[in-house]
């Protein structure tokens, strides 16, 4: 029974990769999550084809005892919902019990974002006189200009980019297609990279992908994370900055400069507006700070007078 279960996991992962075109980061996470689940059900001698709600609760308790975060548990449940839906479709199980299980309530955590001076410091620290330097500047420009996820930017292909209209066709989570826009700075570095650095990095090879590594191959998500880590070290910035930090910065700056929440939701590729609303907490905090500093009759100023 359990060998059959492993075969089904492998088939499911191939299905996500080849047919659903899930990002490599999601596929890697789902593989780990399903391996974790496999370990639990084999240890407890649970029949995966007839798992009960009580057994699922036992599994969730087990994850909680291991001190898994609520967001990780939610991701594991998402992986299992998708997996069991696949099993139902292929007549391996009759019902998907995981559809009835709710995610744990998330702790509200404000996203980390960059101040304008930090962003300027990052941009100015990159030496664009080398092929890799120019590519790295483009990566930062695009992540900030578009709010793309790291998996989305590494999956970009030349044919997805419309330079004249400054548009990019993006395939996000679940293969959902959307259009994102970019400004003059990103266009400038795109033009330079495509006409010089990318050709040098390919060194006679061919690739449909926009971002190329030093071997002339497609740049991976981990590669982008490493590049940003090195840039941050060079800048001597004190807090952790990831590709997602630039996505958060894009959303925050858009809202701070008057963009409506629905437009930002569409640009980010969020399926739910509630996901985008986390950024309103940041912008509201900023507005409060500006108000308290600027309005002549506030409690802070009264306290100082007294």
Of 20, 173, 178, 187, which is the active-site residue?
173
279 is catalytic: yes
Of 75, 137, 247, 248, which is the active-site residue?
247
Of 82, 137, 149, 248, which is the active-site residue?
149
84 is catalytic: no
Q: Collapse the DSSP code of 167 into the 3-class scheme (helix H, G, I; strand E, B; otherwise coil) and give the result.
A: strand
281 is catalytic: no
Given a contact cutoff of 8 angstroms between Cβ atoms, the answer to whether 48 and 8 are in contact is no
> Cα angle vertex 176, ends 172, 178, to 5°?
80
Of 82, 137, 198, 270, which is the active-site residue?
270
188 is catalytic: no
- For the beta carbon of residue 86, count every other beta carbon within 10 angstroms: 19
Q: Torsion-angle region of residue 67: left (phi > 0), alpha (psi -120 to 50) or beta?
A: left
Given a contact cutoff of 8 angstroms between Cβ atoms, the answer to whether 212 and 62 are in contact is no
77-83 — which CB contacts under 8 Å span 24+ positions? 77/101, 77/103, 78/103, 79/29, 79/30, 79/33, 79/34, 80/33, 80/34, 80/37, 82/12, 82/16, 82/30, 83/9, 83/12, 83/30, 83/34
DSSP symbol at 99: G
Q: Collapse the DSSP code of 169 into the 3-class scheme (helix H, G, I; strand E, B; otherwise coil) and give the result.
A: strand
239 is catalytic: no
Of 17, 157, 178, 244, which is the active-site residue?
244
Of 178, 279, 286, 291, which is the active-site residue?
279
193 is catalytic: no
* Residue 202 to residues 6, 137, 222, Cα–Cα distance (Å): 39, 18, 19
- Catalytic residue ranges: 149, 173, 244, 247, 270, 279
């Amino acid at each position: 029974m359990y060998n059959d279960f492993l075969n089904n996991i492998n088939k499911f992962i191939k299905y996500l990769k080849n047919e659903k075109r899930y990002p490599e980061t999601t596929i890697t996470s789902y593989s780990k999550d399903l391996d974790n689940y496999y370990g639990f059900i084999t240890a407890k001698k649970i029949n995966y084809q007839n798992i009960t709600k009580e057994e699922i609760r036992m599994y969730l308790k087990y994850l909680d005892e291991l001190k898994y975060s609520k967001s990780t548990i939610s991701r594991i449940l998402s992986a299992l919902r998708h997996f069991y839906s696949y099993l139902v479709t292929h007549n391996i199980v009759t019902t998907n019990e995981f559809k009835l299980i709710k995610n744990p309530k998330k702790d509200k955590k404000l996203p980390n974002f960059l101040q304008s001076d930090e962003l300027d410091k990052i941009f100015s620290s990159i030496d664009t006189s080398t092929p890799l330097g120019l590519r790295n500047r483009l990566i930062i420009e695009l992540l900030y200009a578009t709010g793309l996820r790291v998996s989305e930017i590494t999956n970009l292909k030349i044919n997805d980019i419309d330079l004249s209209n400054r548009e990019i066709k993006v395939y996000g989570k679940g293969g959902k297609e959307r259009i994102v826009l970019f400004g003059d700075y990103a266009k400038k570095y795109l033009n330079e990279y495509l006409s010089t650095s990318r050709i040098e990095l390919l060194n006679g090879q061919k690739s449909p992908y926009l971002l190329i590594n030093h071997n002339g191959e497609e740049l991976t998500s981990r590669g982008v994370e490493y590049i940003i880590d090195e840039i941050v070290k060079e800048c001597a910035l004190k807090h952790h900055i990831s590709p997602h930090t630039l996505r958060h910065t894009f959303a925050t700056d858009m809202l701070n400069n008057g963009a409506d929440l629905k437009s930002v939701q569409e640009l980010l590729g969020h399926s739910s507006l509630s996901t985008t609303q986390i950024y309103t907490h940041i912008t509201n905090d900023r507005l409060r700070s500006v108000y308290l500093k600027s309005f002549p009759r506030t409690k802070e100023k009264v306290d100082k007078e007294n």
